[in-house]
Structure 1
Amino acid sequence: MDFEEFQRKLLSEIKSDSKACYDIVDNNKELLDHYLYDNRNASVYIVSLVENINDAVVYDLKKFKTLEKVLKHTSFQKVLGEFRESDVLIRACKIGNKKAVDWLLTMNMNIRITDNKGMTAFMYAVQYSTMLPVIEFLLKIADEKYLNIKDINGNTAIFHAIKNKDVLEKMLEYKKINIYHINNNNENLFMYACKNDYIISFNTLIKLNFDFNLCSKSGKTAAMYLEENGRQFQLKTLVNEKTIYDNYGNKTFVTVC
């Protein structure tokens, strides 16, 4: 049996939640030693196996105990190490696969891994109300640095939660969250919500102490975005409740940078 055949058989049994996968591992210790430990291309084989396992976790598996036992087999120590440093938690959070995420969070995964957008698993999780228990868990265990990691646009997790009112309000309960962060376009959370027309969060955010006259790099304010998006009620509320100035120091509902 070569490594490709081993992978196919193992993954088939894992997807079937069959205990036969334990025998496949036990009966192929020499093969695993050769490909995963004594081979100059061991890292290639390990990554290949982990990628296939990750696909199964994200898209196929409903139960995970069988896979967990395989990953904790003594012959799979390097595979488990690679698995914990992989992007599987990000991928599961990205599609809202709560069952997979719940299990992954018991597997000592590296939650600080980011994807090519600079996004963490937490940033994807906050986009789903169904992931609220996962979000609360991460809010409790993670440090301030992790919870406020910036993606490539300078947006933190709370920016990604802006269209999810329940999650946003839960995040606002935690002092570890920097709610006044400014992104790469010089936008605060309130302006970002107005710009992207996430009006569901308007009533929550207007109660906070943002700079409501902040100007983005695009030369616009929150009031201007509200007007552009036809949100006259919210614009009137903003002008009535906050002091909105133009760049001449005049109070106005039309803000010019």
Structure 2
Amino acid sequence: MTLKMPDKDKTEEKQDEVKKESTRKPFEGIANIVNLSPREIERLNSKLIDAVKGGNKEDVEGLLKMGASVNAKEEYGITALMYACARGYKEIADLLISVGADVDAKDIDGMTALMYASKNRQKECVELLIANNADVNAKDIDGFTALMYASARGYTEIVDLLVAAKADVNAKERDGFTALMHAAIYGHKEIVEILISAGADVNAKNDFGMTALMYASKYGHTEIADILIKKGADVDAKDMNGITALIYASANGHEEIVEMLIAHNADVNAMSSERVTALSAASKYRHEKIVEILKKAGAISLGGLTYS
């Protein structure tokens, strides 16, 4: 018994079809054959957003096949990809990107999917977005970057990813704050170290003349103050009111930082524009131990009014 061999031309034709099908993007061409009204599209888009919020990948796939727009926005400009990244639905985010989701789209506040992922500590989504060339230096309407959000919240692993992706460590938001300042304010030591290693300017000032060292001194983050000083922070820098790190530390009762600043030759008699010194500030807030430390270091006590 002989078996009939398939026609060679037909076999090759079939192989070509399989090859074409394998290179086609998911859902490519499906929506194009459906004639949808604007109202129907709007309904599908709304359902798509809801499906993403609920983490339902199958529904997301189905709605995309039916013609939902992958870049549709809600009232506040939030896209399906932003929701997926904010909630950590990496597979859904990957699907959306594969069919053309704009990784750099912004909502009405200027937030991007990368900012949402960074702000919500969604590491896998941050990795996915970076791998798909999301702008790591995009800014929202307040000038915040993904790196600033991660630095302020203490998300070390997110900061690592963003720094490795060449995020600008010296970018400033609307009021001149840097990622380093945010990390110093909230006491995130590891992030301070990462940012400095990546080239963060330890002497950068915001619009109020404040430096990272001033914030560390004001809020009592001793280890961070130590790191900043050792990395070259100016111990005598003044803010817009002439206040130094030593005055901030003295006013807020942070003895260790006061001693540290003095040990690094901070000016114990520096005076603000309102004639406040470290000694007068410590006296006002009754930090007696600091008063003693300052006097031993040569601080002059003249009622905070006249100085030689």
- Whether TM exceeds 0.5 here: the answer is yes
Quick one: distance in 2 between partners of 1:16 and 1:139? 29
Q: How does 1:224-239 map to 2 (within 5 A)?
A: 224-239=247-262
Q: 1:222 to 1:120 in 2, by over 3 A?
A: same
| Structure 1 equivalent of residue 190 of structure 2 | 166
Quick one: distance in 2 between partners of 1:207 and 1:224? 19
The alpha carbon displacement at 1:115 in A equals 1.9
Q: How does 1:177-196 map to 2 (within 5 A)?
A: 177-196=200-219
Which of 211, 215, 231 aligns to 2:234? It is 211
| Structure 2 equivalent of residue 42 of structure 1 | none
Normalising by structure 2, we get a TM-score of 0.64
- Gaps spanning 5+ residues in structure 1: where? 37-44
Quick one: distance in 1 between partners of 2:124 and 2:206? 32
Q: 1:118 to 1:210 in 2, by over 3 A?
A: same
Which of 110, 123, 130 aligns to 2:148? It is 123
**CA RMSD of superposed structures (Å):** 3.1
Q: 1:27 to 1:140 in 2, by over 3 A?
A: closer
Q: 1:126 to 1:16 in 2, by over 3 A?
A: closer
The alpha carbon displacement at 1:227 in A equals 0.8
Quick one: distance in 1 between partners of 2:231 and 2:153? 23
Equivalent AA in structure 1 for residue 83 of structure 2:
A
Aligned residues of 2:181 and 2:212 also touching (Cα < 8 A): yes
| Structure 1 equivalent of residue 40 of structure 2 | 2
Q: How does 1:1-257 map to 2 (within 5 A)?
A: 2-14=40-52, 15-28=54-67, 46-48=72-74, 51-54=78-81, 56-60=83-87, 62-73=88-99, 77=100, 80-81=101-102, 83-86=103-106, 87-129=112-154, 131-142=155-166, 146-162=168-184, 163-174=187-198, 176-246=199-269, 252-253=298-299
Quick one: distance in 2 between partners of 1:186 and 1:13? 47
Equivalent AA in structure 2 for residue 116 of structure 1:
I
Equivalent AA in structure 1 for residue 104 of structure 2:
R
Normalising by structure 1, we get a TM-score of 0.75
Larger radius of gyration: 2
The alpha carbon displacement at 1:52 in A equals 4.2
The alpha carbon displacement at 1:128 in A equals 4.0
Equivalent AA in structure 2 for residue 90 of structure 1:
M
